Amino acid sequence: MPEFFADAEAAFDDARFVIWGYPFDGTACFRKGAADGPEAIRHHSHNFESWLNELGLDLRDVPTHDWGDVETVADQEANNSAIGEIVDRIGAAGKFPVGLGGEHSLTPPAVAALKQHYPNLTVVVLDAHLDYRDGYQGAKWSHAATTRRVSEIVGVECVRVIGVRSLSREEQQAAREDDLSYIEAGWVDLREHLSDIVDALDGPLYLSLDMDAIDPAFAPGVGTPEPFGMTPYEVLQVLNFLSDRLVGFDCVETCPPADNGNTAALAARLVRHALGAVVKAQTAGE
């Protein structure tokens, strides 16, 4: 890892947030390159001021530690164990894990580890794809099966997916049979849907942001771009709305070879906003 995430200079023991990377794209099924995501996000994080003007907060005042990257191999079970080990350590220390992807297969083992510390954990996923396949191309832990695996960990009633505009007929049928709740892109009032989610999901929340939830006009550098998506401002709305309940966050599927760096820059800025939003909301509630 050539550089740390900007302003993440605190020691682990002193940090409120711990950033970790997952440089893996072994199940990518359209275009490869997400393994370069953590490094690119870290690099672009240095482009921004520490002062978050929209929140009135300086990230230099937010103790954050960059743990580095999980050492990945071809065996996803081994990768899951490595993810589980670091997220468990972060959770056991009472800190907030922030995962940088890498492909979306990052999320299930992170959720499983954090659930040990928050037994009533709920999960919100921002994603263009429902990802409710029971494995894909022979891989149980494929990024195309993320929502299915997460639902098995916390219970389908504790999962909400926002921004969906791509799914197979089989996924649609399975989701209906299992009563999975998801929101398609193109809503009229996002805040109304977010209010419904907060009312339905009680307890601590883990938020997973797949960058392909955002329209490729804003974020073309992803592994599986899908038109008609969210705007970056709508993602900010989600972060702001849920920030008082968040106990974990990840930002995945940035694919640097697919654009000129704009998607990694947007991912870095959204991660920085997430840190600030959580601090502002949860400090206000203390």
pLDDT at 22 over 90: yes
Q: What is the mean pLDDT of residues 267-285?
A: 93
* Domain 12-284 CATH superfamily: Ureohydrolase domain (3.40.800.10)
Instruction: Name the band, by pLDDT with cuts 50, 70 and 90, for residue 286.
Output: low
Q: pLDDT tens digits, residue range 116-129?
A: 999 999 999 999 99
Domain spans, the chain: 12-284
* pLDDT value at residue 156: 97
Single-letter residue type at 259: D
Least confident of 143-147, 152-156, 241-245: 143-147
pTM of the model: 0.95
What DSSP assignment string belongs to 115-143?
HTT-TT-EEEEE-SB----S-BTTBTT-G
Helix, strand or coil for residue 5? coil
Helices (H), 142-261: 146-154, 169-178, 190-200, 232-242
* pLDDT value at residue 285: 52
pLDDT at 267 over 60: yes
Which residues lie closer than 8 Å to 226 by C-beta, 6 or more apart?
128, 129, 165, 166, 212, 216
Q: What are phi and psi for residue 24, nearest 5 degrees?
A: -140, 135
